[in-house]
């Protein structure tokens, strides 16, 4: 019995089958099924193509309406980005500095170590720095590109004057944290 459900293969619908298996698992929050799928299928062309289409949907949605995402969407979309990063061989060591910067700002935001205006400036400055570093890392190693592409519009959004709030940064941090956590869970390497 196939753990992903019953289906018949044909040359032209293989990618659709793969994409539907993954889409259903992500939609239902069944990330253990995604993990199992990635371990069984590895990083083959079909799984990469299936995830690529889901990833580009997330990327487009992030550009248009990240600020409106609910927590469930942040987790689902972060998991999709993480899975796509795994099949593209991203290693967390390649973005370690960004992880540290995000954690440091998260701590400062949570402990309210500055006035509202100072915090707004820190959020804007750190978001801009993270974008610069992400561009550098993506230029240095193509496996970072999926993370950079999706975080760039989100970091640009949170660095705008009216969006540079602790609440909005917490949404960005939750998305980033989701990507890092599920990257590890799905078998991504350090």
Structure-model confidence comparison of residues 94 and 150, the more confident one? 150
Count of structural domains within the chain: 1
Task: Please check whether residue 155 is in contact with residue 7, taking contact to mean a CB–CB distance below 8 angstroms.
Answer: no
- pTM reported for the whole predicted model: 0.87
Please give the angle made by the CA atoms of 50, 34 and 53, to the nearest 5 degrees. Answer: 20
What pLDDT score does 99 carry?
A: 87
Instruction: Kindly state whether residue 1 falls inside one of the protein's structural domains.
Output: no
Instruction: Kindly state whether residue 7 falls inside one of the protein's structural domains.
Output: no
Instruction: Kindly state whether residue 190 falls inside one of the protein's structural domains.
Output: no
Q: What is the pLDDT of residues 111-121, one digit of tens each?
A: 888 888 999 99
Instruction: Kindly state whether residue 118 falls inside one of the protein's structural domains.
Output: yes
Instruction: Kindly state whether residue 5 falls inside one of the protein's structural domains.
Output: no
Q: What is the pLDDT of residues 47-89, one digit of tens each?
A: 788 899 999 999 999 999 999 999 999 999 999 999 999 998 8
Q: Please check the confidence at residue 2 and state whether its pLDDT lies above 80.
A: no
Task: Please check whether residue 48 is in contact with residue 88, taking contact to mean a CB–CB distance below 8 angstroms.
Answer: yes
Share of the chain above pLDDT 90, in %: 65
Task: Please check whether residue 183 is in contact with residue 92, taking contact to mean a CB–CB distance below 8 angstroms.
Answer: yes
Determine the structural domain holding residue 102 and report its residue range: 14-185
Q: Please check the confidence at residue 21 and state whether its pLDDT lies above 90.
A: no
Instruction: Kindly state whether residue 138 falls inside one of the protein's structural domains.
Output: yes
Instruction: Kindly state whether residue 2 falls inside one of the protein's structural domains.
Output: no
What pLDDT score does 43 carry?
A: 64
């Amino acid at each position: 019995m196939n753990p992903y459900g019953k289906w018949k293969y044909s040359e032209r619908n293989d990618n659709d089958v793969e994409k539907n298996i993954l889409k259903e698992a992500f939609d239902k929050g069944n990330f253990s099924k995604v993990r199992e799928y990635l371990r069984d299928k590895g990083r083959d062309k079909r799984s990469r193509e299936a995830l690529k289409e889901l990833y580009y949907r997330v990327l487009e949605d992030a550009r248009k309406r990240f600020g409106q995402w609910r927590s469930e969407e942040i987790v689902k979309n972060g998991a999709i980005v993480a899975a796509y990063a795994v099949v593209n061989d991203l290693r967390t060591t390649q973005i370690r500095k960004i992880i540290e910067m995000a954690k440091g700002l998260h701590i400062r935001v949570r402990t309210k170590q500055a006035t509202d205006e100072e915090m707004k400036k820190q959020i804007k400055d750190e978001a801009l720095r993270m974008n610069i570093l992400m561009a550098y890392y993506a230029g240095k190693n193509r496996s970072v590109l999926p993370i950079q592409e999706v975080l760039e519009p989100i970091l640009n959004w949170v660095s705008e004057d009216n969006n540079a709030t602790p609440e909005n940064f917490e949404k960005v941090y939750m998305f980033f944290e989701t990507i890092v956590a599920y990257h590890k869970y799905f078998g991504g390497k350090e």
